[in-house]
Structure 1
Amino acid sequence: MTTTTSTRTALIVRGGWDGHQPVEATDLFVPHLQGSGFDVTIEESPEVYADPERMAATDLIVQCVTMSQISGEALTGLRSAVAAGTGLAGWHGGIADSYRASSDYLQLIGGQFATHPSRHPDEVCGDASDNYLDHTVQLTDAGRAHEIMRGLDDFALTTEQYWVLHDDLNDVLATTTHPVQPYHPWHRPVTSPAVWTREWGAGRVFVATPGHRVEVLVDPNVRTIIERGMLWAARTR
């Protein structure tokens, strides 16, 4: 990859639940950001969002903070920064399952993890693999026309399949459908967004729900979508 002169700034904010490998996962994308012309800094707490000068100078936030908590000041700073043009991007629980107690954060992101259905009760063994299901990520018509998904097609994964609560402000680029099994309480297939973008004021938000661990993030389709999604979300100068 050709390295360009750094003209923009990217802030990686990581932490929360260790099961999503926030350090290893974000480190995976640092070379891509640097090679795309970003000066990259890393913070281990979302409280950096409360610094208005830092936020005004940030062109892209890459967040990987599962669950955890955020102060009112930091959340206000994040929302203000995105509305003013700072891009916000992330994957899986690092963005779609953050700060569960904050409805204002949920409104900013446009989707909230609800569950990841598990295997048949007779097949569960009590570890993370209980929630690894074979499923397909299907591009929408809008997705096929979008620069983030250019040249890609539907693809299969064996990992957590996120069931997401969402709203109509999202531009959904890909979906995944949860089937009905005899042991499920729901009565028809449920389709959830798997990749979406969202316009917020002058800013852009990008979310991809695949990415439970590094082995999912290095899938060529997932990695391509996230790398392109980060660049799409970033403020242009």
Structure 2
Amino acid sequence: MVRGGWEGHRPVEATEMFLPFLEDSGYAVRVEESTEVYADADEMARTDLVVQCVTMSEITAEELAGLIAAVEAGTGFTGWHGGIADSFRASSDYLHLVGGQFATHPGKEPCERQGGQEDNYLPYTVNITALGREHPITAGVEDFDLVTEQYWVLHDDLVDVLATTTHPVRPWHPWHRPVTSPAIWTRQWGAGRIVVTTPGHGLDVLEHPSVRTIITRGMTWATRTVSE
């Protein structure tokens, strides 16, 4: 479990929420407060799953190369919200690994904004795709509604989208038709599995039953298996 970066996403408190699940599921959990561990080839080779919660921040070339090599060799990689989808903005190689990058979270009407994070909290729906209704991570999860940051994501075609969210047209925004972004996706990278869940801005969102189910199932699904 690797955490750090922007404190607004509460990386310590957010990751602590999932430690009991991992330990109860039989994982031996190592918590790291920086990405330095990614450059430790021996440790990464022994790691079956990386849960990352590092928003923005920076990563060295050696650390990123170690993470990529580990995933290609079968280490699973997962996380939520900015901790995985808005990490290391200066690194195109990280973006290439993950397959999608936070671009923005549209905000409220300007006259309603008060200067806090709540300015970007909007009601929206997470829609499970046809693939998602059959996938182990999201099977049985119905479409659900949230009031929080709605991520607009730039992505490529190598992601398998399990859920989407649609940004509507509002008078104060410059786009002219609804825009649909992936909200939950998986990605196969070498022998490794990647899972990205974009909801998760606050602890209350991580406590939402559907969000928590998806994140914990994603951890299990992404984990390296014996057959790999």
TM-score interval, normalised by the smaller of the two chains: over 0.9
Q: 1:141 aligns with which of 130, 152, 163?
A: 130
1:61-94 CA deviation, whole Å, 9 max, x = no partner?
Answer: 0000000000000000000000000000000000
Q: 2: distance between equivalents of 1:47 and 1:108? A: 18
Q: 1:193 is aligned with what amino acid?
A: P
Q: 2:19 is aligned with what amino acid?
A: V
Q: 2: distance between equivalents of 1:43 and 1:182? A: 44
Q: 2: distance between equivalents of 1:183 and 1:69? A: 33
Matched residue, 2:164: 175
Q: 2:45 is aligned with what amino acid?
A: A
Q: TM-score if structure 2 supplies the norm length?
A: 0.98
Q: Structure 1 residue 155 and structure 2 residue 144: aligned?
A: yes
Q: Structure 1 residue 91 and structure 2 residue 80: aligned?
A: yes
Q: Structure 1 residue 16 and structure 2 residue 5: aligned?
A: yes
Matched residue, 2:203: 214
4+ residue stretches of structure 1 with deviation over 2 A?
none
Q: 1: distance between equivalents of 2:23 and 2:222? A: 16
Aligned-residue RMSD, C-alpha:
0.5
Q: 2:192 aligns with which of 193, 203, 224?
A: 203
Q: 2: distance between equivalents of 1:229 and 1:86? A: 13
Q: 1:91 is aligned with what amino acid?
A: W
Percent pairwise identity: 68
Matched residue, 2:32: 43
Q: 1:29 is aligned with what amino acid?
A: F
Q: 1:53 aligns with which of 42, 54, 59?
A: 42
Give the gaps of 5 or more residues in structure 1: 1-11
Superposed counterparts of 1:176-195, under 5 Å = 176-195=165-184
Matched residue, 2:114: 125
Q: 1:165 is aligned with what amino acid?
A: L
Note the C-alpha offset of 1:150.
1.6
Note the C-alpha offset of 1:182.
1.0
Q: TM-score if structure 1 supplies the norm length?
A: 0.95
1:29-72 CA deviation, whole Å, 9 max, x = no partner?
Answer: 01101111100010011111000000000000000000000000
- Match of 2:195, SS state, is strand
1:177-203 CA deviation, whole Å, 9 max, x = no partner?
Answer: 000011111111000000000000000
Matched residue, 1:31: 20
Q: 2: distance between equivalents of 1:155 and 1:192? A: 15
1:102-127 CA deviation, whole Å, 9 max, x = no partner?
Answer: 00000000000000000011111111
Q: Structure 1 residue 230 and structure 2 residue 195: aligned?
A: no
- Match of 2:108, SS state, is coil
Note the C-alpha offset of 1:151.
1.1
Residues paired across the two proteins, number:
226
Q: 1:125 is aligned with what amino acid?
A: Q
Q: Structure 1 residue 70 and structure 2 residue 70: aligned?
A: no
